[in-house]
Amino acid sequence: MGTKIAVALGIMLILSVSGSSWYIDRLLDQISVLKGNQLALENSIQQQNDAIAEHLAKAVQLQEQNNKLSAQNQETAREVNKLRSTFANHDLDALALAKPGLIEIKINKAVKRLKADFEKISDPKQFEKDEKSSDS
């Protein structure tokens, strides 16, 4: 009877050791899968952080350009107001009738300046030039 108990206990010991070994192997496999997932998530998080930083830098750059354009707009508005007050103080009709050559020369010069200014502010590549100079 003692040998039967010893054999039964031996079989139970072998079964528990093999079951524990299988369970440990399964846990180790799960750990390796989880570590792989962790690395993938860390890489994804890093890429997203880099993208966020890039977007924030672009937003700052766009804000600076917006501020620059707002300042130019304000300056242009001041110039328009100054010209309106100048024109309000002068009777150009009478001057044009009295001295048409003088008015023609002044208008031609003003139109050339206006054309150059319009070409400058309507150039679609004006911000690309700023980006290239700030990238260097």
- pLDDT tens profile 2-43: 899 999 999 999 999 999 999 999 999 999 999 999 999 999
d(CA 45, CA 27): 26
Residue 55 CA to its chain's centroid (Å): 3
Instruction: Return the domain boundaries, the chain.
Output: 90-136
d(CA 9, CA 115): 103
- Asked if the model's pLDDT at residue 112 lies above 70, the reply is yes
d(CA 81, CA 88): 10
- pLDDT tens profile 49-91: 999 999 999 999 999 999 999 999 999 999 999 988 887 777 7
CA distance readout (Å), 61 to 5, 58, 81, 134? 83, 5, 30, 10
pTM, 2 dp: 0.46
Which residues are within 8 A (CB) of 126 and not within 5 positions of it... i.e. 6 or more apart?
A: 120
The C-alpha torsion from 69 through 71 and 72 to 76, rounded to 10°, is 140
